[in-house]
Amino acid sequence: MSGRVEEALLLAQSRARAAEEALSQYDTRVEETAFRALGLLEESRARERKAADDLAAVQLAIARHDQLYEIAHRNWTNGHGSPPSPPSSPLEAAARAGGPRWFEERQEELSLQLAAAYEQAEEAAEETGRRCRLIVELESLVEPIIQLRHAGVIPEESWAARTAHEDGMGSSVVVVDRSPADPDRVATGGSFAA
């Protein structure tokens, strides 16, 4: 009888060590994935800021174009009056030299730039949103495991299924595609530590 009890205790200890090792490996994988996701998120935010700056630059160029056109249109409408003042910039000089045709071509060019800038800004914002949701999903995966560790509980059957799935998928972490209540909530690296 004592031999069976001892054997059962050894088996339980072995399973506990295996479960603890699986838990440690899972935490490490999720943490590494989280830090990679945070790096990607920072890249997305930098891209989003650049897209916003580019859009603002195009809008400013359009405003300047409209201003030059108003000045030129008044000169064309009023005919020959007092001698015009010297051009204040190379752009204004080009506008005067090119006439109405220059304004038409410039307007088309700026319209294309504006459309491209809006598209880039939208794509950058969507990418940032996707990566924010990824980090929230990673946090939702690791938080229950940390709570179980702190409570001293390791659900053996659950871990067996999860580690078997990970063995089939490699070191990647499967993220469920759902919309969190707060998609802008982003975890920091410290949130993934036990």
Contact 134, 183 (CB under 8 A): no
| DSSP-assigned states of every residue in the chain | -HHHHHHHHHHHHHHHHHHHHHHHHHHHHHHHHHHHHHHHHHHHHHHHHHHHHHHHHHHHHHHHHHHHHHHHHHHHHH-S-SPPPPPSSHHHHHHHHHHHHHHHHHHHHHHHHHHHHHHHHHHHHHHHHHHHHHHHHHHHHHHHHHHHHHHT---HHHHHHHHHHHHHHTT---------S-TT----GGGG--
Q: How many CB atoms lie within 10 A of CB 2?
A: 6
pLDDT in tens, 112-159: 999 999 999 999 999 999 988 888 887 777 676 667 666 665 444 444
Structure tokens at 108: 């088309």
CA–CA separation, 105 and 74 (whole Å): 19
Check residue 145 and give its pLDDT.
Answer: 65
* Residue boundaries of the structural domains of the chain: 19-192
pLDDT in tens, 165-179: 444 444 333 333 333
pLDDT in tens, 19-65: 767 766 776 777 777 788 888 889 999 999 999 999 999 999 999 88
Predicted model pTM: 0.55
